[in-house]
């Protein structure tokens, strides 16, 4: 296996993820020099004028605690490192056909053009798994009825993809716990599709 491209990509991917995670942290009032206050109003939580659910506020509280324990930069680096490793592993497995369900999670498979020549889809150019979400729901131990509802809604693609990716990580944690250790609520909350959009596209 030629690893030159991977070696060149990995450091840049890590930098991209650090930037994306830092930006996302700011959206939840988590900064290097301060942690913004949370105001609870009924079933909502207000952070710097932005409205979140109480559950999100509780999960965000776990992140704030982690930042206080590790320090902001260490926390950001840890989050970026964790997800770069996981996504690199998933990418390797999907390209080599090692995922049990057989569908790609981070890309689309190659197709043939009008002349019959194979055209390889670019990394990040759509996700094959979304078209087969209902088929893989049970394999990933997801609530199939909930997955079908998201598919039928037509505007839940990001939420659907998040559930599938986290479901895959949970499955892989059974065979590769050293890389896909069981994700806690805070870690799951912190993963958002925006990170993939900013780093894969």
Question: In this predicted structure, what is the pLDDT of residue 120?
Answer: 47
Question: In this predicted structure, what is the pLDDT of residue 9?
Answer: 64
Helix (H, G, I), strand (E, B) or coil at 181: coil
The whole model's pTM is what? 0.74
Question: In this predicted structure, what is the pLDDT of residue 195?
Answer: 54
For the ranges 77-81, 138-142, 180-184, the lowest mean pLDDT is seen at: 180-184
- pLDDT, one tens digit per residue, over 38-58 is 999 988 999 999 999 888 888
Q: Is the pLDDT of residue 2 over 70?
A: no
Confidence of residue 140 (pLDDT cuts 50, 70, 90): very high
DSSP 123-178: TTS--GGGGGHHHHTTTTT--HHHHHHHHHHSS-HHHHHHHHHHHHHHHHHHH-TT
* Cα–Cα distance list, 148 to 55, 60, 138, 141 (Å): 24, 28, 12, 14
- pLDDT, one tens digit per residue, over 85-118 is 888 899 899 989 999 999 999 888 866 545 555 4
Question: In this predicted structure, what is the pLDDT of residue 121?
Answer: 47
* Cα–Cα distance list, 181 to 38, 112, 173, 186 (Å): 30, 38, 5, 13
Confidence of residue 123 (pLDDT cuts 50, 70, 90): very low
Question: In this predicted structure, what is the pLDDT of residue 79?
Answer: 82
Q: Is the pLDDT of residue 157 over 60?
A: yes
Q: Is the pLDDT of residue 25 over 50?
A: yes
């Amino acid at each position: 296996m030629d690893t030159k491209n991977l070696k060149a990509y990995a450091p840049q991917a890590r930098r991209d993820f650090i930037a994306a995670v830092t930006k996302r942290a700011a959206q939840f009032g988590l900064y290097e020099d301060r942690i913004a206050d949370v105001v609870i109003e009924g079933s909502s939580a207000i952070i710097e004028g932005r409205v979140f659910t109480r559950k999100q506020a509780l999960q965000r509280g776990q992140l704030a605690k982690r930042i206080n324990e590790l320090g902001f930069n260490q926390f950001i680096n840890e989050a970026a490192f964790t997800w770069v490793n996981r996504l690199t592993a998933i990418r390797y497995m999907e390209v080599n056909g090692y995922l049990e369900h057989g569908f790609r999670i981070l890309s689309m498979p190659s197709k043939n053009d009008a002349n019959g020549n194979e055209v390889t889809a670019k990394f990040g150019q759509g996700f094959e798994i979304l078209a087969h979400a209902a088929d893989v729901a049970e394999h990933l131990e997801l609530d199939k009825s909930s997955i079908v509802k998201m598919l039928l809604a037509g505007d839940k693609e990001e939420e659907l993809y998040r559930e599938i990716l986290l479901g895959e990580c949970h499955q892989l944690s059974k065979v590769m716990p050293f890389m896909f250790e069981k994700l806690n609520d805070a870690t799951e909350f912190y993963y958002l599709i925006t990170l993939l959009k900013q780093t894969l596209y």
